[in-house]
Amino acid sequence: MEKFENFEGIAAALPMINVDTDMIIPKQFLKTIKRTGLGKNLFYDMRCTPEGEQKTDFVLNQPPWTEAKILVAGLNFGCGSSREHAVWAIRDFGIRCVIAPSFADIFYGNCFKNGILPIRLDEETVNVLMQAAEEGEKGALKIDLDGQTITRADGSTLAFTIDPFLKHCLLEGLDDIALTLQKEAKISAFEAKQRDAQPWLYR
């Protein structure tokens, strides 16, 4: 997994609560097991007509938010089914950070496994950021994961909290597989010992 690096980017506002994973990536796009190629289908039912044409009134179809790297959303973002494709679609679109007052637990965990930073802030602060996001490039935000801060265009700074272990994994680009491989020497030693003690398991 790619290491999470500090960045500055345009924020797009999605002033909706209870945005579920089927809204993020509808069920017809779940046939793939690849993590790429889903960005074009992000929020498909809201972004596109039944014929597949883009709706001009949806924020991610409007410049400059077509290049958004940050999504500011409402309460309980990512609820519904546990489909990891929802996070894949967000990441493939180019969004690296989602800010909301609360997240569904499984979605929140999947973000960290795919290089996305989910930030919880109080509802009042999120509403302020949503209003700023409507200004496009003037509402761009700087995300500093190491310092745990968000810097607004006017220079004001907001602090956020994050679990130290999850922060470490993002900064170092460690998903579940990479974490396991850090123990490769111990795993190999155990297997060698087990092979000697219980050879019948390997026949």
pLDDT of residue 115: 95
What mean pLDDT value characterizes the chain? 93
- List, for residues 81-103, the tens digit of each pLDDT value: 999 999 999 999 999 999 999 99
pLDDT of residue 171: 96
User: Is the distance from CB of 121 to CB of 102 less than 8 angstroms?
Assistant: no
Domain 7-172 has CATH 3.20.19.10: yes
User: Is the distance from CB of 141 to CB of 96 less than 8 angstroms?
Assistant: no
User: Which positions of the chain have pLDDT values less than 50?
Assistant: none
pLDDT of residue 26: 96
pLDDT of residue 195: 83
The Cα 97–Cα 94 span in angstroms is: 9
Where are the domains positioned within the chain? 7-172, 177-203
Instruction: Supply the pTM of this predicted model.
Output: 0.90
The Cα 170–Cα 144 span in angstroms is: 12
3-class DSSP state of 9:
strand
State the first-to-last Cα distance of the chain, in angstroms, to the nearest integer.
Answer: 35
